[in-house]
């Protein structure tokens, strides 16, 4: 009940912003308000390192005078500040040039149904409880093996936020969501070789986090298995992206089919709608209404209704990722993606991680990527990488200081399999991805 009362209070503030904008002559307006609070505790070498309480609030408004647009924001929610903020946005709008594509979304596309997506699960852990959990997690890692020689610590985060948005088309909605995480990072050393690795768990509901002991143990195991890494000679070979790094391949794909890249003509998938961009087995879709998922929402950043929809079916590109502005620039309709995609999902195949190693037989398993070497105009791809060399379907030794390269168009078309080892810890849900061949630059 208290939650709903607070949402209603913030809704009234947003409505007052919209009313003030109209009073100051704006022909249209949209506003958003957020209040967030949280706790972050980190421990290192068995001692508390930091305790941080977060408490933030802010509101922003965008006004339109015909096709002229102005925006302003503030963290002060007093009536006087609201009036000043609206006045600042109006002043900006009066002096900006007209943009024929600017404006609110189409009213018919706004969300009208607001199901409970089970996003709010407060965690009453307190500072003492968070300290104990962080130390337990780090202890599990440090005590796992004598070659775990140092630690970057373990961190517990708990966060709750209220988000309200409205516009002058009559849309006014808000929701509460939580996000909790536990992470650990340690260093392993053997002779002259030293390696760092980590593990983490994140969820809307703290009950669904992996245990502190399991997170610490995984962090230690991952650091140990990287010791005594070798480089490779330059070659071409199959590459298996482990699930936790495979999402990066999909993020580049989403960037290429997003409205901003398309209307600027800075995408390697320009005019690719309806064409084969992946093998036939690839199915990529959004699930924005999954209960308790990290990317779930009933509406996008403009209030446009979100819906389950295919981006790729049978390997064919079915839809772009568009906000209202980019849709107008392209002569299309918003896809409800202001703010990005939500719970992007790749349908998993039948093979688990071990099966994928066997299918690859001989090649490179990538478990870490470095750098931002993706040219979105040409699709050229080059990233620093670390992982493991695989022969006869078995991991042989760790690999470091190499670069993997190719062109994303070719990489996407030459995917061989997607595993069923799906990583659910983010907004992109995919298993490990096996690519037929890439270039490896090493010694």
Q: Which residue has the tokens 């918003």?
A: 334
Q: Are 297 and 344 in contact (CB under 8 A)?
A: no
- Of 198, 225, 252, the residue that ends a domain is 225
Q: What does the DSSP 8-state code read for residue 107?
A: G
Asked whether residue 241 falls in the same domain as residue 208, the answer is: no
Asked whether residue 202 falls in the same domain as residue 292, the answer is: no
> What mean pLDDT is predicted for residues 277-292?
98
Predicted confidence band of residue 79 (pLDDT cuts 50, 70, 90): very high
Q: pLDDT averaged over the chain?
A: 96
- Of 210, 225, 240, the residue that ends a domain is 225
Signed CA dihedral, 136, 152, 50, 177: sign only? negative
Residue 8 pLDDT exceeds 60: yes
Asked whether residue 213 falls in the same domain as residue 250, the answer is: no
Asked whether residue 275 falls in the same domain as residue 331, the answer is: yes
Give the CATH number for residue 204: 3.30.2290.10
Asked whether residue 377 falls in the same domain as residue 428, the answer is: yes
Residue 1 pLDDT exceeds 80: no
> What mean pLDDT is predicted for residues 10-24?
96
Asked whether residue 221 falls in the same domain as residue 235, the answer is: no
Residue 148 pLDDT exceeds 90: yes
Residue 2 pLDDT exceeds 80: no
Tokens describing residue 25: 């002559």
Give dist(CA 366, CA 250) in Å, integer. Answer: 15
At 151 the pLDDT is 97
> What mean pLDDT is predicted for residues 11-31?
96
At 376 the pLDDT is 96
Residue 245 pLDDT exceeds 70: yes
- Of 225, 253, 275, the residue that ends a domain is 225
Q: Are 431 and 349 in contact (CB under 8 A)?
A: yes
Domain count within the chain = 2
The strands making up 309-313's β-sheet, listed across from edge to edge, are 316-317, 309-313, 284-286, 344-346, 428-429
Asked whether residue 138 falls in the same domain as residue 219, the answer is: yes
At 443 the pLDDT is 78
- Number of residues that make up the chain: 443
Give dist(CA 42, CA 280) in Å, integer. Answer: 46
> What mean pLDDT is predicted for residues 115-119?
97
Give the HSE-up count for residue 147: Cα atoms under 13 Å, Cβ half-sphere: 19
At 242 the pLDDT is 98
> What mean pLDDT is predicted for residues 309-326?
98
Asked whether residue 268 falls in the same domain as residue 134, the answer is: no
Predicted confidence band of residue 215 (pLDDT cuts 50, 70, 90): very high
Percent of the chain whose pLDDT exceeds 90: 98
> What mean pLDDT is predicted for residues 217-222?
98
Q: Which residue has the tokens 């070498």?
A: 45
Asked whether residue 217 falls in the same domain as residue 243, the answer is: no
End-to-end C-alpha distance for the chain, whole angstroms: 64
At 3 the pLDDT is 85
- What is the domain range of residue 433? 229-443
> What mean pLDDT is predicted for residues 379-404?
97
Asked whether residue 271 falls in the same domain as residue 288, the answer is: yes
> What mean pLDDT is predicted for residues 110-139?
97
Task: Characterize the bridge pairing of strands 415-418 and 433-441.
Answer: antiparallel
Ordered DSSP codes for 147-187: TEEEEEEEEEEEEEEEEEEEETTS-EEEEEEEEEEEEEEEE
At 371 the pLDDT is 86
Asked whether residue 284 falls in the same domain as residue 423, the answer is: yes
Asked whether residue 195 falls in the same domain as residue 240, the answer is: no
């Amino acid at each position: 009940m208290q939650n709903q009362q607070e949402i209603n209070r913030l809704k009234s503030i947003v409505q007052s912003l919209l009313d003030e904008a109209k009073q100051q002559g704006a022909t249209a307006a949209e506003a958003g308000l957020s209040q967030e609070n949280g706790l972050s505790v980190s421990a290192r070498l068995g001692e508390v390192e930091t305790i941080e309480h977060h408490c933030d609030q802010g509101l922003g408004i965008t006004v339109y005078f015909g096709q002229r647009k102005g925006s302003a924001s503030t963290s002060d929610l007093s009536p006087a500040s609201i009036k000043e903020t609206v006045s600042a946005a109006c002043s900006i709008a009066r002096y900006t040039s007209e943009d024929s594509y600017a404006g609110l979304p189409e009213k018919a596309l706004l969300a009208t149904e607001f199901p409970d997506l089970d996003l709010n699960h407060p965690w009453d852990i307190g500072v003492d409880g968070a300290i104990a959990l962080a130390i337990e997690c780090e202890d599990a890692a440090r005590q796992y093996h004598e070659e775990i020689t140092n630690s970057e610590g373990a961190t517990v985060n708990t966060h709750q936020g209220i988000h309200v948005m409205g516009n002058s088309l009559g849309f006014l909605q808000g929701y509460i969501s939580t996000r909790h995480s536990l992470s650990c990072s340690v260093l392993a050393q053997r002779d002259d070789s030293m390696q760092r690795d980590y593990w983490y768990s994140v969820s809307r509901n703290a009950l669904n986090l992996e245990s502190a002991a399991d997170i610490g143990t995984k962090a230690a195991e991952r650091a140990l298995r990287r010791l005594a890494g070798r480089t490779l000679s330059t070659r071409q070979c199959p590459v298996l992206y482990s699930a936790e790094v495979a999402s990066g391949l999909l993020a580049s794909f989403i960037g290429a089919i997003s409205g901003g890249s398309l209307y600027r003509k800075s995408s390697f998938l320009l005019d690719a709608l309806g064409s084969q961009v992946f093998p036939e087995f690839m199915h990529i879709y959004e699930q924005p209404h999954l209960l308790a998922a990290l990317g779930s929402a009933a509406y996008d950043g403009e209030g446009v209704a979100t819906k389950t929809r295919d981006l790729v079916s049978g390997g064919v590109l079915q839809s772009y990722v568009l906000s209202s502005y980019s849709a107008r620039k392209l002569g299309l309709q918003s896809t409800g993606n202001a703010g990005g995609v939500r719970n992007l999902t790749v349908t998993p195949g039948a093979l688990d991680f071990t099966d994928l190693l066997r299918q690859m037989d001989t090649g490179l398993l990538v478990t870490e990527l470095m750098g931002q070497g993706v040219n979105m105009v040409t699709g050229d791809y080059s990233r620093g990488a670390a992982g493991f060399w695989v022969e006869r379907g078995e991991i042989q030794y760790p690999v470091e200081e190499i670069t993997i390269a190719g062109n994303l168009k070719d990489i996407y078309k030459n995917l061989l399999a997607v595993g069923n080892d799906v990583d659910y810890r983010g907004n992109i849900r995919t298993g490990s991805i096996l690519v037929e061949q890439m270039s490896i630059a090493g010694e």
